[in-house]
Structure 1
């Protein structure tokens, strides 16, 4: 799905992720839902803050294959690659990808094949989904 490259767009992408996971059998308060929603929040916030190009949206893709869930966030700014160096202790930002690194089973960055930009992706192994009423 496409979202405007604004804080509102990032918030809507995060909410969509949580709703989709709930539909897929991972309730809102489950560790799986909370973990993947947090990863999505960090990746979409980075797309808005560091990958923003005026007039261009970012894309969110959620794909589940068996128990593996992949979150992909694509923006149109290729020259700003994610940095995972730890910030100074008194800095107020710069820890998002450290969280992604700690929570995801794997993550990385790939260039967009046919357009400028990049996709930052993260994969999480989910527990077996539970049936929701």
Structure 2
């Protein structure tokens, strides 16, 4: 039976924090013996959510949390300090040549569930995603 495990890390809201978030995610999930495929998807989801927080908010700090619980679900939570215009929502790219604009569409496609909540007045936004914790080879 899987124990409830949690990890929390803080990142500066800068572009160079995105690869660090991916690395920290993979390292933690590997330590929890999460399957390779889930590690890859989790790293992708964290990358997209942290990128959105860096690009679309006025945050100085981003908080990431990883949860591995007894329901065999890996939950990813990214909280920014806001404020950013509107609530994140998937938007198709305007033309087939854009390199951005598809992050939340990707999160939606690879997650079993995802959503947003306001952290509180003036406290930013929480974006979360859930992935199945499947058996298989461990993260490298």
- TM-score, reference length from structure 2: 0.83
Partners of 2:30 and 2:119 in 1: CA distance: 30
Please list, as runs of the form range in 1=range in 2, the aligned pairs for 1:35-114 lying within 5 A after superposition. 35-53=41-59, 56-66=60-70, 67-80=72-85, 81-88=87-94, 89-113=96-120
The count of aligned residue pairs is 128
Which runs of 4 or more aligned residues in structure 1 lie more than 4 Å from their structure 2 counterparts after TM superposition? Answer: 129-132
| Partner-residue secondary structure (3-state), 1:7 | coil
Deviation at 1:52, TM superposition (A): 3.2
Q: 2:16 maps to which residue?
A: 8
**8 Å contact 2:83–2:122 — kept in the other structure?**
no
Partners of 2:84 and 2:76 in 1: CA distance: 21
User: Which structure is higher in RCO with an 8 Å CA cutoff and minimum separation 6?
Assistant: 2
Structure 2 runs not aligned, ≥5 long: 1-8
Q: 2:38 maps to which residue?
A: 32
Root-mean-square deviation (CA, aligned residues, Å) is 1.9
Partners of 1:4 and 1:92 in 2: CA distance: 23
Structure-2 change in CA distance of 1:9 and 1:131 (3 Å): closer
Q: 1:18 maps to which residue?
A: 26
Deviation larger for 18-27 or 66-75: 18-27
